[in-house]
Homo-oligomer: A and B are copies of this chain.
Amino acid sequence: HSPEGFDCVINGEYQVSCLRDGSEVYFPFSFLKNYFEVYGKIVSEDGEERFEWFHSYSKIYHPKGKYDPKGVFMYFDNYNVEVRERVKCITASEGVPVSTQWEPRGYFYPIQIAQFGLAHYSKYIAEAEPNRLVLEDGDRTKALWFVADGASFTRKFLTDINNFVIEFNTQESLNSKGIELKLSESLTDFILNLNLKFESNGSVEVIVEDKEKKSNFHLFYVCSDLWITSKGNKIFHGLGDCNSWRRLTRDLLVDLQKGQSLSEKGKRILRSRARVTAVIFRGVGYADNITLSSSEHLAHFYDAADWFVKHQDDEGGWPIDVKRHLGAGVEDLDAGWYSAMGQGQAMSLLMRAYYSSRNEYYLSAALDAVKPFQALSEDHGVKAVFMDKYIWFEEYPTQPSSFVLNGFIYSLIGLYDVAHAPDSMGSEARDLYIQGIRSLKAMLLLYDTGSGTLYDLRHITAGGAPNVARWDYHSTHVNQLLLLSTIESDPVFATTAKRWQSYMNGKRAPHN
């Protein structure tokens, strides 16, 4: 005998085509995956096929040791913020991402910028030294430059920076030839890094070839405030102020991808098909230390940290200039709100920048960032109080309060990092951290559904269905608890992390 088709009636509501073999009835995965929201597919290994069923799609990263305010930030060495679709581009003026998540024209989102910086810092710590090829430094390494008719090119010692640099003087027009460095076919890295200063309205052009199509993309970095624009195979990033020395670090593949996305969403050239073929300068200016690397994490990290130093306001905050609609029953946040998570992640970033550079202004910015934690949400701060009892720091300082869990814990990690500032400078942060941990211990299990976690407590404050965390937020919760378990003695963090992780494999809390 063999299995036969059989009708299955689901909760008296609808019918599914099953198979029956004796007393056993078999349900199709196409039904199960929707009914239970599980995952799975047929996989093949060594010619053997099988079906792999997964209860969740997320991953847990077990910390390797005690959390260190100077070390890798959680598992952020696995993050790649800039390739996310909701990142419009990395600005060439400040080297930070622009978000389009809640506003398609784009805006600076402190959380995203901090995560970009923390990811690069963590990769810097976790990864091996990059390949780094200096193409031209005006001094020890000299490249062969093709100089257009009527243009000039020299190498020159500048006393203000005490260094040999290249000096060029060409037409500004992007159609003109400029001075051009053609690159060897053997180069396979895509991080361009150089020092740059224009005396005029100049530009840097980088040509990237699609090896398969034998066609070229042209990346232009121009003296302008624009973020990104494209026209055909030309992609433009604005350098902002061109007339002072600055270091420009570009992930050329990211710039290319973002440019391509402007015309065709999600399109992305494969690394293996791309090759950097030329660097061209136009206008009047100087360049130095032109380098192609496999990565320049520290440079990206400092770009992010510098953004926070530059854009911190008088209240110590980084206002978010986009309206935020959280959901029914919760008032929208008007542009200009602070986020405890944004503040916290910035603090984690800035403390690392301070430790790594010993520049006091990073420390100072991190200490100032604590201020919004002292003010209630309705007073433009980030503090909420649960049931008049437990102080909470709000990722979204809404009315009524929303009590987003992961944002709160990120803010606690930021406070922890500042709490460890030298001398007793971190005492204010330390007090807030201690209060926050007390709240977290009291409230953590409010997020436990017995088979997953809740993203926030808006159902308690605003009514309606609980807002269940999708698996990647759930795994963030687990990862955060695992981190806290390395710095807090209360076993609730490790115990809860373990149970919450088991939910990802379909385990459930017992019922009575």
Which residues of chain A have a CB within 8 Å of any CB of chain B? Answer: 2-3, 6-13, 18-21, 23-30, 32, 35-37, 40, 42, 49-55, 386-390, 442, 445-446, 448-452, 454-455, 459-460, 463-470, 473, 492, 495, 499, 505-506, 508-512
Contact = CB atoms under 8 A, between A and B. Distances in A.
A454 B450 contact: yes
- Chain A binding site: helix, strand, loop or mixed by DSSP? mixed
A8 B50 contact: yes
A11 B58 CA distance: 12
Given A25-B29, A465-B499, 11 more contacts: A7-B50, A8-B51, A8-B52, A9-B52, A9-B53, A26-B29, A445-B463, A446-B446, A465-B510, A467-B509, A470-B512
A509 B465 contact: yes
Contacts of A499: 465
B35 A26 contact: no
A479 to B, nearest CB: 17
A161 to B, nearest CB: 50
10 contacts: A2-B3, A8-B50, A11-B55, A27-B29, A387-B390, A448-B466, A449-B466, A468-B508, A469-B511, A469-B512
A466 B451 CA distance: 10
A51 B509 contact: no
A394 to B, nearest CB: 16
A291 B433 CA distance: 75
Contacts of A388: 387-389
Contacts of A2: 2-3
B11 A25 contact: no
A449 B450 contact: yes
A168 B473 CA distance: 81
B445 A460 contact: yes
Nearest to A505: B11
Which among A51, A448, A470 has the highest number of chain B CB atoms within 10 Å? Answer: A51
A11 B506 contact: yes
Nearest to A462: B445
Given A42-B25, A465-B448, A8 B53 contact: yes
A144 B339 CA distance: 91
A411 to B, nearest CB: 19
A20 B55 CA distance: 20
A445 B461 CA distance: 9
A321 B463 CA distance: 40
Given A24-B30, A29-B27, A511 B42 contact: no
4 nearest A-B residue pairs (beta carbon)? A26-B26, A465-B509, A449-B449, A468-B511
A214 to B, nearest CB: 39
Contacts of A505: 11, 13
Contacts of A492: 463
Contacts of A386: 387
A450 B452 contact: yes
Contacts of A495: 463-464
B450 A511 contact: no
Nearest to A388: B389
Given A29-B26, A387-B387, A451-B449, A51 B508 contact: no
Contacts of A508: 37, 468
A452 to B, nearest CB: 7
A21 B26 CA distance: 11
